Amino acid sequence: MKVTVDRSACYGSAECAHRAPAVFGFEDGYGFVRPGQEETADDPRVCEAAERCPSQAILLGE
Ligand code: SF4
């Protein structure tokens, strides 16, 4: 499953990058999925980051 960050929804709390730093980075005030880490949506840390993102900008899907 794929994980993406909706940049237009992200408001830059950086929590995802703290919670799962191997998958999420933080740059220019936005969280992003590190290149090559797009297929990690099944990882519990990624699910937790998505659940706890304060703006629900982390999307898990096919
Ligand atoms: S946790 Fe959500 S709001 Fe915070 S940086 Fe990550 S994607 Fe953006």
* Closest atom, ligand 1, to C-alpha of 31: 5
Residue 13, pLDDT > 80, answer yes
Mean of pLDDT over the chain: 97
Residue 33, pLDDT > 80, answer yes
DSSP assignment of 15-45, as one string?
HHHHH-TTTEEEETTEEEEPTT-TT-TTSHH
Say what the pLDDT of residue 15 is. 98
Instruction: For strands 24-27 and 58-61, give the pairing.
Output: unpaired
* 3-class secondary structure, 4: strand
Domains of the chain: residue spans and CATH: 2-61 (3.30.70.20)
* 3-class secondary structure, 14: coil
CA-angle at 43, arms to 46 and 16, nearest 5°: 15
CA 1–ligand 1 middle distance (angstroms): 19
Say what the pLDDT of residue 1 is. 93
Arithmetic mean of pLDDT, 9-32: 98
Question: Which pLDDT band, with edges at 50, 70 and 90, does 43 fall under?
Answer: very high
Residue 62, pLDDT > 90, answer no
* Closest atom, ligand 1, to C-alpha of 55: 3
